[in-house]
């Protein structure tokens, strides 16, 4: 197992740097320049612009700019934000917590809802319950995140007025209870989208498992039906479900970008949008580093979970 994890880490390292190269060069191709945002003063002269360009290193070729950024990163320094003139590391870490709270809570809630619904749909396929749950999951997965968020805001914040419209805390009240109330709507927005994918995969996997000989044998031995479904069925059906969860990691961050904008949630998503609008390359790259690392680590953890669920995979390694 240790040998396999080390091998996966060695593969992840060049993948990580490949992601940073792509994002850096794509960002440099975007129209506009950070100087246009930084030199908003109408009294700024052309000489001021050129001096600032040289100071920031923007007069160098893109490859040189990237290598300088990479050198700083390897030294534990993500640079300084063009927009706020603050260290990128501190800005990213400050926003990382709210994003993790939102995405992790949404993922846990999605699994707790989708997996039982998927099991029940597979246990009684083509029943009214199966059609209802499958239809709701299809609608949830097909509805854009921003639209779901706006509908929830209209229903619970505008009409019923029982939940706040946005933000992370009530004004001047930074308590767990306040954060929990503000978390409900953005969390539900992401959960509605995630439940559809997990439910469909759970249903399909469980239906395939229920048709296997070992399930019929377990029932013939007189085992309790709950034990057959959970112990013999669910464990063998979880590998495809875990695969779906691992592929959802980048989409969780992508959905969080939209949800954070809609609900003014102070996470990485809203910071990314602000940074893109102001061509704040150091901050964009800092967020990219965090997301890329999260995705790669998530894939490694997924492979480890595979080996725990299926002894054959563990033996092959």
How confident is the model at residue 151, as a pLDDT? 92
- 80 three-state secondary structure: strand
Count of residues making up the chain = 317
Contact between 190 and 260 (Cβ < 8 Å): no
In angstroms, the CA 158 to CA 166 distance is 12
Question: What's the DSSP call for residue 125?
Answer: T
pLDDT in tens, the chain (317 residues): 667 677 777 888 888 888 888 888 888 777 667 776 666 556 667 777 777 778 777 778 888 888 988 888 888 888 888 888 889 999 988 888 888 888 889 888 988 988 888 888 888 888 888 888 888 888 877 888 888 889 999 999 998 889 998 888 887 778 888 899 999 999 998 888 888 888 888 888 888 888 888 888 888 887 787 788 877 777 777 777 777 777 677 666 666 778 888 888 888 888 888 888 888 888 888 888 888 888 888 778 777 777 776 655 555 55
Q: pTM of this prediction? A: 0.78
In angstroms, the CA 174 to CA 30 distance is 38
- Two tokens, residue 147: 């639209």
In the chain, the largest separation of any two C-alpha atoms, in whole Å, equals: 86
In angstroms, the CA 64 to CA 43 distance is 31
In angstroms, the CA 8 to CA 32 distance is 39
Write the CB contacts of 23 (distance below 8 Å, at least 6 apart in sequence).
284, 285, 288
- Two tokens, residue 234: 């669910």
How confident is the model at residue 153, as a pLDDT? 92
Percentages helix, strand, coil for the chain (3-state, rounded to 5) are 80, 0, 20
Residue corresponding to tokens 């109330």: 181
Complete domains list, the chain, with CATH? 89-316 (1.10.3720.10)
């Amino acid at each position: 197992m240790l040998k396999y994890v080390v091998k996966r880490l060695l593969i992840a390292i060049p993948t990580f740097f490949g992601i940073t190269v792509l994002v850096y060069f794509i960002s440099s191709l975007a129209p506009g320049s950070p100087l246009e945002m930084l030199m908003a003063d109408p009294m700024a002269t052309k000489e001021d612009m050129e001096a600032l360009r040289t100071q920031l290193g923007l007069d160098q070729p893109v490859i040189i700019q990237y290598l300088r950024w990479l050198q700083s990163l390897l030294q534990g320094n993500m640079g300084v934000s063009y927009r706020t003139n603050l260290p990128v590391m501190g800005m990213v870490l400050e926003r990382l917590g709210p994003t993790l709270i939102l995405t992790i809570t949404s993922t846990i809630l999605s699994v707790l809802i989708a997996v039982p619904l998927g099991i029940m749909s597979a246990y009684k396929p083509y029943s009214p319950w199966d059609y209802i749950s499958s239809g709701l999951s299809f609608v949830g997965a097909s509805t854009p995140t921003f639209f779901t968020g706006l509908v929830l805001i209209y229903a619970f914040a505008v009409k019923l007025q029982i939940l706040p419209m946005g933000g992370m805390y009530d004004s001047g009240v930074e308590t767990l209870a306040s954060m929990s109330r503000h978390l409900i709507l953005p969390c539900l927005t992401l959960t509605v989208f995630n439940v559809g994918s997990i439910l469909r995969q759970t249903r399909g996997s469980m239906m395939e498992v229920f048709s296997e000989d070992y399930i019929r044998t377990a029932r013939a031995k007189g085992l309790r039906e709950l034990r057959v479904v959970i112990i013999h069925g669910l464990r063998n059906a979880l590998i495809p479900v875990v695969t779906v969860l691992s592929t959802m990691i980048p989409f969780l961050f992508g959905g969080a970008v939209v949800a954070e904008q809609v609900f003014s949630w102070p996470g990485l998503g809203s910071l990314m949008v602000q940074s893109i609008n102001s061509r704040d390359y150091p901050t964009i790259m800092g967020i990219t580093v965090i997301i890329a690392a999260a995705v790669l680590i998530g894939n490694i953890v997924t492979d480890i979970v595979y080996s725990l669920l299926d002894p054959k995979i563990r033996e092959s390694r």
